Amino acid sequence: MIVKLLKYKGIIFDDWAENEDGSIWAEMCAECAEQYKNILTNELDDGGTARGSCSVYGCNHTGEDNETAHYYVDFNMEYVEFIEEEDNILECCSVSTKY
Ligand SMILES: [Zn+2]
């Protein structure tokens, strides 16, 4: 199966959302935000209302317990890259089945 992924500054996302104006955002759990905060210096938005699944490829954290509010990542389109991969190319323990 081919999965479409979004690559941003070396981070791979398996889920994202598009606004009507074409801008793209995704949810990121607090742990990933901590891990990538030095890369995502201007993109992280501590909205505090996101409760879906973390959009980082291989991360399935959810914000359902209300303890771990997610961050929003507002992508700078300059760095957004779309890639298509066989879903078994990237070694990962918890491959998303959303696609
Ligand atoms: Zn995460």
Which amino acid, one-letter code, is at 99?
Y
Q: Ligand 1 being an ion, which residues bring their Cβ within 5 A of it?
A: 29, 32, 54, 56, 59, 61
The answer as to whether 49 is a domain residue is yes
Strand ranges, E, within the chain: 2-8, 11-13, 17-18, 24-28, 44-50, 70-74, 80-86
Confidence band of 85 (pLDDT split at 50, 70, 90): confident
Q: Does 98 map to a domain?
A: no
Residue 78 Cα to ligand 1 middle (Å): 23
Whole-number Å distance, alpha carbon 1 to ligand 1 midpoint, is: 23
Distant-in-sequence, close-in-space partners of 10: CB < 8 Å, separation ≥ 6: 39
| CB distance 64 to 52 below 8 Å | no
The reported pLDDT for the residue numbered 65 is 60
pLDDT single digits (tens) 6-18: 999 999 999 999 9
**Ligand 1 centre and the CA of 57: distance in Å?**
8
31-84 pLDDT, tens digit per residue, is: 899 999 999 999 998 866 666 789 999 898 876 665 567 899 999 999 999 999
Where in the sequence is the domain holding 31, given as residue range(s)?
Answer: 2-86
Query: How many structural domains is the chain composed of?
Result: 1
Q: Distance of CA 48 to CAs 2, 19, 72, Å?
A: 32, 19, 8
pLDDT(93) > 70: no
